[in-house]
């Protein structure tokens, strides 16, 4: 079968391209929402951990955070996805996309937390001392002095975490979510020609990742230009 025929069969006939398009939208939806959830969780955890490391307060919360980090970073995301789907939300009739967002968000949160913690800890202690010596309390020092600086240093790493997450969501098909990868699988199961569906799925991911990488590079240049002001 020639390339044109194969192309027609895999994408044009029965509007099969729609599987890819809808899958792409699902992938983007899950990734986007999970990134937000991950950032939210990650920042909270990082702040708890740093508060403990810097002041010795929030001991219990710190222990809980450490357990969370160990467990999430110690198990594969697909196992986490299955557990959240089959065990945590066992008897709740909940949208699978929502389950995926929760699972990937919780997973990403652990990695975001370590990135942000690294960023906060990289800020010279003298900054905290300067803030406190002016009479600002811990929270004010964190909010106005430490976090703005930390945020700037971790922004590229956080953006990279988004890229990682985009790729990770490709296992969403494990709970029968019709994401981009699954979209290709559906076409494949109907046409039995693995070549085009798989390669086009790969190409779509590649284009997205390259585009995001390009943006991250731009962001980094922008940030380092700012440093020279």
Partner 1 sequence: GKTATENTVHSKADLEGKTIGVQLGTTGDSLASNPEVIKNAKVERYNKYADAVQALKQGKVDAVIIDSDTAKEFIKKNDDIELLSEELSEEEYAICMNLDNTALQVEINTVLTEFKTDGTLDTIKEYYDGANAGENKFKADPNADTSKGKLVMATNAGFPPYEYMEGQEIVGFDVDMMTAVCQKLGYELEIDDMEFDSIIPAVQSGKADVGVAGMSVTEDRKKNVLFSTPYTNTRLEIMVRK
Partner 2 sequence: MIDVKGLKKSFGEIDVLKGIDEHIEKGEKVVIIGPSGSGKSTFLRCLNLMEKPTAGEILFEGKDITKLHEKEIDRVRQRMGMVFQHFNLFPHLTIRKNITLAPVKLGLMTKEEADVKAEELLKRVGLPDKADEYPTRLSGGQKQRIAIARALAMNPEVILFDEPTSALDPEMVGEVLELMKQLADAGMTMVVVTHEMGFAREVASRVLFMADGYVMEQNTPKEFFENPQNPRLKEFLSKVLV
Q: CA 149, 155, 159 angle in degrees (round to 5)?
A: 170
Q: Report in angstroms how near the CB of residue 48 gets to partner 2 at its nearest.
A: 18
Residue 66 three-state SS: helix
173 binds partner 1 (CB under 8 A): yes
Interface stretch with partner 1, choices 45-53, 114-122, 162-170, 185-193 (CB under 8 A): 185-193
6 binds partner 1 (CB under 8 A): no
Which residue in the set 86, 98, 144, 214 belongs to the binding site for partner 2 (CB under 8 A)? 144
Return d(Cα 78, Cα 75) in angstroms, integer.
Answer: 8
Interface stretch with partner 2, choices 21-29, 82-90, 144-152, 185-193 (CB under 8 A): 144-152
Q: Are 101 and 30 in contact (CB under 8 A)?
A: yes
Joined tokens for residue 122: 């990289």
Which residue in the set 51, 80, 141, 191 belongs to the binding site for a copy of itself (CB under 8 A)? 80
Return d(Cα 111, Cα 160) in angstroms, integer.
Answer: 11
Q: Are 74 and 37 in contact (CB under 8 A)?
A: no
Q: Which residues are at the interface with partner 2 (CB under 8 A)? A: 124, 126-127, 129-137, 140, 144-145, 148-149, 152, 227-229
């Amino acid at each position: 079968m020639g390339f044109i025929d194969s192309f027609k069969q895999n994408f044009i006939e029965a509007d099969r391209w729609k599987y890819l398009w809808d899958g792409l939208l699902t992938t983007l939806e899950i990734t986007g929402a999970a990134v937000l959830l991950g950032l939210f969780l990650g920042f909270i955890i990082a702040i708890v951990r740093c508060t403990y490391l810097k002041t010795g307060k929030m001991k219990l919360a710190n222990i809980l955070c450490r357990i969370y980090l160990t467990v999430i970073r110690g198990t594969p995301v697909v196992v986490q996805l299955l557990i959240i789907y089959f065990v945590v939300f066992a008897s709740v009739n909940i949208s699978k996309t929502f389950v995926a967002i929760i699972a990937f968000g919780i997973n990403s949160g652990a990695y975001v937390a370590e990135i942000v913690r690294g960023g906060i800890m990289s800020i010279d202690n003298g900054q905290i001392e300067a803030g406190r010596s002016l009479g600002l309390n811990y929270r004010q020092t964190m909010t106005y002095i430490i976090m703005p600086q930390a945020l700037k240093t971790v922004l590229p790493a956080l953006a990279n975490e988004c890229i990682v997450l985009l790729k990770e969501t490709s296992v969403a098909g494990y709970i029968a979510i019709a994401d981009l990868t699954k979209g290709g699988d559906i076409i494949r199961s109907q046409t039995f020609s693995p070549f085009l569906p798989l390669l086009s799925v790969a190409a779509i991911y590649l284009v997205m990742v390259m585009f995001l990488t390009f943006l991250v590079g731009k962001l980094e240049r922008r940030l380092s230009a700012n440093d020279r002001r």
